[in-house]
Amino acid sequence: MPIPRDPRVEALLPEAARTINRVARSFSRAATFLPAEVRDDINLLYLALRRLDDLVDLEARAGAAQRDDAHRRLAAIRQWTTTGVLDPAGGDELAILSDLHRRTPQLPIDAIGAFLDGMERDLTGPQLSSDADLDLYCYQVAGTVGRLMAALLGVRTGDELAADDAARALGEAMQRTNIVRDIDEDLANGRIYLPAAALMRSGLSPTATTGSNSLRDGDRRALLVEQIALADAAYARGIDGIRYLRHGGRAIRVAAYLYREILRQVERDGFGRLRPHRPVVERGHKFAAILRAIIAR
């Protein structure tokens, strides 16, 4: 028998479903393959993490009163991750996370603190010098989410470490995909989420790219080829570890295949040369990716 949710958290289920359907459409499509109880927990986790992201942004940008409230809520959540103390100031976000942990004790609380670190780095654009800097950033903002989701889905006894590593890899692969997909949009906002070391390996100047269109033409092909290869390697590790999950393996595989298809679209678009806009995977390619995921073992 599953442990009942806190009524306060149960009441947030409709909002959680609306949020993931609106903001994470690829994953919400894949989540239809999840058992209902597990899907609700995943939706709640997504709602809490989305709100944490919003709180970090609010703390930096809003008026004084709103900043103070956001700071108190974030401080309460950080306190819980290190001491286990539940402060009511943590709001709905802490209520969700603590209730998920109560019902799933193996939920890695350290991942939540690392996720907050990543959100705070993201406010001004992380300063990425080395490949290791990018690895850490991808872990903080996405590998952590993979670890949390794996715990909610359940892991076969004896495979906990391997499953945790695979979930981290799959989350990081998806974040690397985001970076490749959004490179032009980020540049237009004066940001670049690739390390200076990678840019220099491709003959690019890190200082010349920020806020410019210098990656619009052919000079970025080598850069994106390298980054896509790194993402594909992380997908391979992550997908291989799906077998360790007790529930939701098909849903996670569908999500992975759908998201990985974005990389193939970047390639089909000539790395941005053929279609100078954010890559969009056409319906036929999405359908084919879902079929491959369903029949894969």
pLDDT digits (tens, 9 = 90+) for 200-209: 888 877 776 6
Region 124-297: CATH code: 1.10.600.10
Asked if 131 contacts 114 with a C-beta cutoff of 8 angstroms, the reply is no
- Per-residue pLDDT tens over the stretch 38-82: 999 999 999 999 999 888 887 777 777 777 888 888 999 999 999
Q: Residue 212: is its pLDDT beyond 60?
A: no
Asked if 135 contacts 172 with a C-beta cutoff of 8 angstroms, the reply is yes
Where are the chain's structural domains? 1-105, 124-297
The pLDDT of residue 287 is 66
Q: Which residues pair with 155 in a beta bridge?
A: 245
Task: For Cα atoms 182, 184, 188, give the angle at the middle one, nearest 5 degrees.
Answer: 115
- Per-residue pLDDT tens over the stretch 74-94: 999 999 999 999 999 999 999
Dist. CA 218–CA 203, nearest whole Å = 12
Angle between helices 36-61 and 109-122 (to 10 degrees): 40
What confidence tier does 262 reach under pLDDT thresholds 50, 70, 90? very high
